[in-house]
A and B are shown apart, each in its own frame.
Chain A
């Protein structure tokens, strides 16, 4: 275990995030001779997709599937590469001078980088339905995380709802682990099919479609899959029933656990707080960073690889990490030998191929992204859709002004679970595009840090400069 005090004051490359992009980037850079450190917040490497890859108690290989186990090679490569890999390390600031503020076991440090690769990946898109804050309602990703890392599986009446590849994958994994799933409530609109057709040829050439069809078949054989147009969780103090509307009639399902998912979006907090420019992506319905061919952001020296650069999945993430790392090596140590970038780019292009089809076919319906009435939008401050809409109608033009009125986005999650919803609601009320409305302005610290942690910073010249501005 590496402690804050063991860190060097400076590294050639600092990689933030230990998923496929971060692991691949750190391995490549360290092998090429850059002094490299990888910071990851979780107890072990792997990110979300390869969560618990070095420690999972789920030894039966078929439960999680071969795509999961592919992560083991990345993890062991990174370990052997000479990069320092630090888990339990929370990055709370990154500034344009490439000073990285890190906190490990309650002790904070500022570390200087020659280059930074942000590989903080994705998080699940907010899914604001009535009752989504009740205990018993979780994200599908959460259930997958605890299956991978701790071997925990749902034990009561379990309902899955939403859309997207991860929901099917989770359903299949739970079934293989012996879990009974009461129903899978499918929220994507049938109309998406027509819009997705132009992207079908590419999809058929991609590795996704065979796997996808197989998973869907596996799940449909064991679970009723019901198309739904409305969805709510109800119960007093915890989930009791899932209420849905299918084909015009309302139905109720007793449930102990409701797992929600309708896609993932880039986790933009650190990149935005570092000043990287982002723009609205209408196909993926989220903000993505503006990047060059090497995944360099608008801030010199900071690259953003993996799903944080726009959603493309785990295997694409690793290739993106490699491309960003090659650029870092070329900038800092031009004489070092690195893999040929064209080869990596070709692999990446293949991995990204079926994405457009998936984005369109699983585009979450408007009604599941833009709630109404007293459905909670901001979980932390318990702000409702009605409040956001009414405040927008009063003339509040953007999410930052909204903070002053409603405190939305000002709780501990710093807008991670409400940012896109608030932007889209304001856009709908003002009848403008989300691009025009923009996103929360994010500032460091991007994770809460205590005064005690700040006080543990050793005070030197560099540190003084980093905080006085």
Chain B
């Protein structure tokens, strides 16, 4: 869906255990978009897949688990070397 205009990725993160190269300055949501990962979570009501919609912190469709903490807004969190991201399934995983 998206590609980088020029910068080469320099940061490595893990998404669902797979290595993904990102650029320092990416948010988690941007890194997922650039890597062609087509959804962040599935919905609690019907299990429909969702991907980032607003990229400005209002829609919450970018919720992912980051370093073991669930329901983080991927569009607000900058990537860090070694970060472990997991897409979320169904019910919002409260308290995780």
A136 in the interface, Cβ–Cβ < 8 Å? Answer: yes
The contact string, 1 if C-beta is below 8 Å from chain B, for chain A 132-143, is 010111110110
| Contact present for B58 and A150 (CB under 8 Å) | no
Which residues in window 391-449 of A have CB below 8 A to B? 411-413, 416-417, 448
Chain B neighbourhood of A267, CB < 8 A: 58
- Please report the C-alpha to C-alpha distance between residue A141 and residue B26 in the assembled complex, in whole angstroms: 17
Query: Are A450's CB and B30's CB within 8 A?
Result: no
List residues of chain B with CB within 8 A of the CB of A411: 60
Q: In whole Å, how far is B30's beta carbon from the nearest beta carbon of chain A?
A: 4
Q: For the side of the interface on A, what is the size category?
A: 35 or more
The interface residues of chain A lying within 8 Å CB-to-CB of B51 are 135-136, 138, 238
Q: How many A-B residue pairs have CB under 8 A?
A: 130
**Across the interface, which residues of B come within 8 angstroms of A141, CB to CB?**
54-56
Question: Is the C-beta of A256 less than 8 angstroms from some C-beta in chain B?
Answer: yes
Q: How far is the CB of B79 from chain A (nearest CB, A)?
A: 10
B28-71 interface code vs A (CB 8 A; 1 in, 0 out): 00100110001100010110111111111111110100000101
* Given the contacts A57-B25, A146-B33, A382-B45, A154 and B59 also touching, CB distance less than 8 Å: no
A151 and B7 form a contact (CB under 8 A): yes
Report B-chain residues with C-beta under 8 Å of the C-beta of A150.
4, 23, 25-27, 30, 34
Q: Which residues of A contact B14 (CB under 8 A)?
A: none
What distance in Å separates the Cβ of A254 from its nearest Cβ neighbour in chain B? 14
> A152 with B58: in contact, given A43-B27, A139-B53, A238-B38 (CB under 8 Å)?
no
Contact flag A448-B56 (CB < 8 Å), given A57-B25, A152-B34, A153-B5: no
CB pair A123 B54 closer than 8 Å: yes
A379 touches B61 (CB 8 A): yes
Residue contact B76 to A57, C-beta cutoff 8 Å: no
A138 with B45, Cβ < 8 A, contacts A43-B78, A151-B6 known: no
Tell me which of B1, B30, B48, B50 contacts A149 (CB under 8 A). B30
- Bitwise interface map of A from 41 to 83 toward B, beta carbon under 8 Å scored 1, else 0: 1110000100010010110000000000000000000000000
Looking at the complex, which one of A42, A124, A156, A412 makes contact with B1 (CB distance below 8 Å)?
A156
In the complex the two chains form, is B52's CB within 8 Å of A42's CB? Answer: no
Assuming the contacts A42-B76, A138-B55, A238-B38, asked whether A152 and B30 have C-beta atoms less than 8 A apart, the reply is yes
Q: Are B58 and A412 in contact (CB under 8 A)?
A: no
A139 / chain B contacts, CB cutoff of 8 Å: 53-55
> Are A256 and B1 interface neighbours, CB within 8 A?
yes
Q: A155-B2, A416-B58, A448-B71 are in contact. List 9 more A-B contacts (CB 8 A).
A: A124-B54, A135-B39, A138-B53, A139-B53, A141-B54, A145-B55, A152-B5, A154-B3, A237-B49
**A to B CB contacts below 8 Å, 9 in the list:** A88-B76, A123-B56, A136-B1, A138-B51, A142-B54, A146-B33, A155-B1, A381-B45, A448-B71
Shortest beta-carbon contacts, A-B, top 6: A135-B51, A142-B55, A155-B3, A412-B60, A151-B5, A382-B45
Q: Which of B's residues lie within 8 Å of A, judged by CB?
A: 1-7, 23, 25-27, 30, 33-34, 38-39, 43, 45-46, 48-61, 63, 69, 71, 76, 78, 92, 95
